[in-house]
Structure 1
Amino acid sequence: MSHATLSSLYPQHLDVLQARAAEALRRGGFDHLVVPSGTLHYQAFDDRDYPYAVNPQFKAWLPLTQTPGSWLVVTPGSKPKLVFLQPHDYWHVVPAAPSGYWVDQFEIVVIRTPEEAAQHLPDAARSAILGEPQSAIEGYAPNNPQPVIAYLEYHRAFKTAYEIEMMRQASRIGARAHRAAERAFRAGSSEFGIHLAYCQAAGQDANDLPYGNIVALNEHGAVLHYTHRDRLPPKPVRSFLIDAGASFGGYACDITRTYSAADDEFAAMIRAVDAAQLQLCDMVRAGTDYARIHLQAHLLLAGVLRDFGVLKISPEDALASGVSSAFFPHGVGHGIGLQVHDVAGFAESDTGGTLPKPDGHPYLRLTRTLAPGMVVTIEPGIYFIDMLLDELKAKGLGDAVDWARVEAFKPYGGIRIEDDVVCTDGEPLNLTREAFAADA
């Protein structure tokens, strides 16, 4: 993506954020929005810091992700100010001076120590200061007023054209890295080796990625957040599930693919889940209750399980009885953007309130009605998890399952297919499929 594209889209993005900030401040009774970028945290009884993570409220405004100790000031009617910490230091790499398509939109003040920021910040009593407690400097402690945060986080679900372009670029990086990971799997690499191949292709280290890579061979695919990464491949290698993303300018992609080592029955099941996933992606349309997509995922996946002889009951009975949840125990997806699991997934409105999850589905992360600009993941899955299957038997629901078929599929672990999808005024925009097509 050219800087010219970002440059043309960024001013409109900033106008949207300025309007949101003005309304949020009005609701909270404040004159200024003050956002620290965050600070380094040190491990207990040690002098080593944890990996730095920028404040999402900060990187929403500008594509800076490695500038601890900096501050953003937004005052309606004025040019936003960046108080940029660029310390004198020979122990660590100092952040480079701000540059790029966005700098002309800001008043930029460079400081050399964190304490200097105070002289460039507005009256704290009239400011909504959004951040974690560790970001405080003398006279400026985050107060995180609920009306301000509720408004900003609710509306953050609606991405600007600039944000969608940022996520498109993250998706292209992720697709390229997924291609490399599949090649490493086909070549016989271990989970750890596949992870390294992914990072190399993405050009991002583990701490640069938006979340820890899930790289699972065989039965490990049944562990939803498997991050152990064995150093040696199993024998034989049957299957590969990878859930891995990439970052671009503070925005994330979240992609999952599953492969079989052979063109066998498990490969056929992967193809069936992929077809179901595409049907669910097509439901990402304005006015659709996201929870309805989740329930439809249960019906489609139960249909796959019935077609492959695992279930003996209808998809409707599997959903109503809870049998489908033993094979698909997580939510169908979540919002995504500045954070992999973006905020306000249950927000009833921009003043607060909570939209409930469907009964019996505690792990769904989004219950809002979709609208243009929202970006969500769609990630249905089928897994063969001993603990959940044992619970089915304990509940007296074992007769719904052909256990010989379960035993045949258990060595493969599970299947998950995940795309990032934009809700538009018309047909959904699948950033993930677009990125894989571009990398073909």
Structure 2
Amino acid sequence: MSGKVCAHRPSLTALNSRVMLWSMFKPEVYKDRRAALLATLRYQGIDSGYALFPGNRDAPINYPDNCCRFRQDSSFLYFFGVAEPGLWAILDIGSGKAVLYADELSENMLVWTGPRPSPADWVSLAGMDAAYPSAQLSAHMQAYARSKAPLLYLPPYRADTRIELAEVLGLPLGGVEAGASLPLIRAVIALREIKSPLELREISQAVDISIAMHKAVIAAARPGMSEAALMAIATEIALSGGGATAFQPIATTRGAVLHNHAYDARLGEQGLFLLDAGAETPEGYAGDLTSTFAIAGAFDQRQAAIYDLVLKAGDAASAVLIPGRPYRDAHFAAAKAIAAGLKDLGLLRGDTDEAVEAGAHALFFPHGVGHQMGLDVHDMEALGEDHVGYGSLARSSQFGLRSLRMAKEVRPGMVLTVEPGIYFIEGLIKNWRAQGKFREFIVYPELERWMDAGGYRNEEDWVITESGASRLGGEFDKSAAAIESLRLNIRR
């Protein structure tokens, strides 16, 4: 943190010169969020019991002292704000009191880590009521169990959290998932999916840093460079912004591999480069953008045709981001734009709407058009994709459409990505052709000439407003001409 104290962040003078290692909002922010959680639970008829929030622990890479970068559980961050490993927090639904289970820094750890805020400091910064040593957690949990009070928790996504929950709740390890509280899941989703103005400022900051990451890579890429070198440029900008990358970047010449995390290729003289990368702010909020550009500097005629079609699909999707409309409509708008454009190029034929309804377009667009974004890049996905993105809607089993993470109605305050893509996946094309799939729509002989066309994706981040949607972040013109302008230095 810088020496400047922002209006929405706590003063650190009460910490008696302790080192503050993570940025937090003011205590009132967390108190208000917890009060809203209690109200949402009570609305569902739950007015007693305890909501359990195990924080994340350090995750060793290959031995205990060599760990991955620590990232706190996002719901723990949302309600308590403390990004310290090995914590638990419990919220008493009846009284509204919030307690923290944390340990004082040992003398040995003081040597290795330097001074840290004490449990009492964290309680003060998060607006909680008390702190207890971690050793008392089991005894307190046993007392709660004897009282027959409901014990609510979210589904764990880490093995160590699952084991801890099994131990403190006295459950078989295999029964932990089934015991997760659906009312708590619903309450957390209802709160986290509508972003406050404070959160929107954080997300906008993350998107701005993400834009800088993308512009730097677009301008720096040269034939002969490694994918790893370009990934490093993006990562350095994310780190210099005070946070980190929000997820493992995709930085690849092989854009038709949707989640290619290998950085072992070098850029040739031709072809495409696809960057899917975003920054995370010190408070944990994510940005998520994707750019595609021609390594040679300018798109050739065929590349330009597909690139412009992807942009048109994004425009079609964002145009129907309107409160009350299902996000699924945005997916179909993108799919129909892609199908119509591919028909113009001679790769599809027949009725466009029928082709999309049948799923023929998914040969080229085999994923959903986007997802929610916030404290997680795929926001709240650990709570269950169907809970977060579908609600009462049924999920399709159709190839491509079944990968749509978000389908339900959008509401003001939601933050969503729009990321259509067109991919020429050689193995998939060959499989479908051998099976004779959708021959009435797909022009396989013409497609033979496009096998090496690669993958294209464009992704932007949007917030739903009262009347429509607004793109987050500063200026970032994705037109072919603008991207080529950023690449001008490659042709000098």
* CA distance in structure 1 between the partners assigned to 2:344 and 2:115 by the alignment: 56
Which residue identity lines up with residue 412 of structure 2 in the other structure? P
Residue 13 of structure 2 corresponds to none
Which 10-residue stretch deviates more, 136-145 or 418-427?
136-145
Residue 6 of structure 1 corresponds to 8
Please give the TM-score of this superposition, normalised by the length of structure 2.
Answer: 0.75
* CA distance in structure 2 between the partners assigned to 1:412 and 1:251 by the alignment: 35
Which 10-residue stretch deviates more, 418-427 or 353-362?
353-362
5+ long unaligned stretches in structure 1: none
* CA distance in structure 2 between the partners assigned to 1:181 and 1:429 by the alignment: 25
- What is the root-mean-square deviation in Å for CA atoms of aligned residues? 3.7
Deviation at 1:381, TM superposition (A): 0.7
* CA distance in structure 2 between the partners assigned to 1:254 and 1:213 by the alignment: 10
Which residue identity lines up with residue 424 of structure 2 in the other structure? F
Q: Using the aligned pairs only, state the percent identity.
A: 26
Alignment of 1:1-40 (within 5 A): 4-7=6-9, 11=28, 14-24=31-41, 27-28=45-46, 30-40=48-58
* CA distance in structure 1 between the partners assigned to 2:467 and 2:358 by the alignment: 35
Please give the TM-score of this superposition, normalised by the length of structure 1.
Answer: 0.83
Alignment of 1:67-216 (within 5 A): 67-75=84-92, 80-85=98-103, 87-88=105-106, 89=109, 92-93=112-113, 96-97=116-117, 104=125, 106-107=127-128, 114-115=134-135, 124-125=144-145, 126=149, 127-130=151-154, 132-135=161-164, 144-186=180-222, 188-203=224-239, 208-216=244-252
CA contact (8 A) 1:7 1:102 kept: no
Alignment of 1:316-355 (within 5 A): 316-343=353-380, 345-347=385-387, 354-355=392-393
Are residue 372 (structure 1) and residue 392 (structure 2) matched?
no
Secondary structure of the residue aligned to 2:402 is coil
Are residue 239 (structure 1) and residue 256 (structure 2) matched?
no
Which 10-residue stretch deviates more, 260-269 or 293-302?
260-269
CA contact (8 A) 2:388 2:406 kept: no
Which 10-residue stretch deviates more, 361-370 or 339-348?
339-348
CA contact (8 A) 1:83 1:108 kept: no
User: Against the structure 1 CA distance between its residues 114 and 13, is the aligned structure 2 distance closer, same or farther, given a 3 Å change threshold?
Assistant: closer
Structure showing greater radius of gyration is 2
* CA distance in structure 1 between the partners assigned to 2:316 and 2:391 by the alignment: 31
User: Against the structure 1 CA distance between its residues 47 and 20, is the aligned structure 2 distance closer, same or farther, given a 3 Å change threshold?
Assistant: closer
User: Against the structure 1 CA distance between its residues 319 and 3, is the aligned structure 2 distance closer, same or farther, given a 3 Å change threshold?
Assistant: farther
CA contact (8 A) 1:34 1:128 kept: yes
5+ long unaligned stretches in structure 2: 11-24, 171-175, 478-485, 487-492
Secondary structure of the residue aligned to 2:452 is helix
Deviation at 1:277, TM superposition (A): 0.5
Which 10-residue stretch deviates more, 49-58 or 25-34?
25-34
The Cα offsets for residues 185-227 of structure 1, whole Å up to 9 and x where unpaired, read as: 247522111100111111179x94222111111xx11001011
Deviation at 1:341, TM superposition (A): 1.8
Deviation at 1:311, TM superposition (A): 2.2
User: Against the structure 1 CA distance between its residues 190 and 42, is the aligned structure 2 distance closer, same or farther, given a 3 Å change threshold?
Assistant: closer
CA contact (8 A) 2:100 2:123 kept: no
Which residue identity lines up with residue 339 of structure 1 in the other structure? D
Deviation at 1:228, TM superposition (A): 0.8
Deviation at 1:170, TM superposition (A): 1.3
Are residue 416 (structure 1) and residue 464 (structure 2) matched?
no
* CA distance in structure 2 between the partners assigned to 1:400 and 1:235 by the alignment: 34
Q: Give aligned pairs, total.
A: 429
Are residue 289 (structure 1) and residue 306 (structure 2) matched?
no
Secondary structure of the residue aligned to 1:362 is helix
Which residue identity lines up with residue 392 of structure 1 in the other structure? W
Higher relative contact order (CA 8 A, sep 6+): 1
Residue 423 of structure 2 corresponds to 383
Deviation at 1:279, TM superposition (A): 2.6
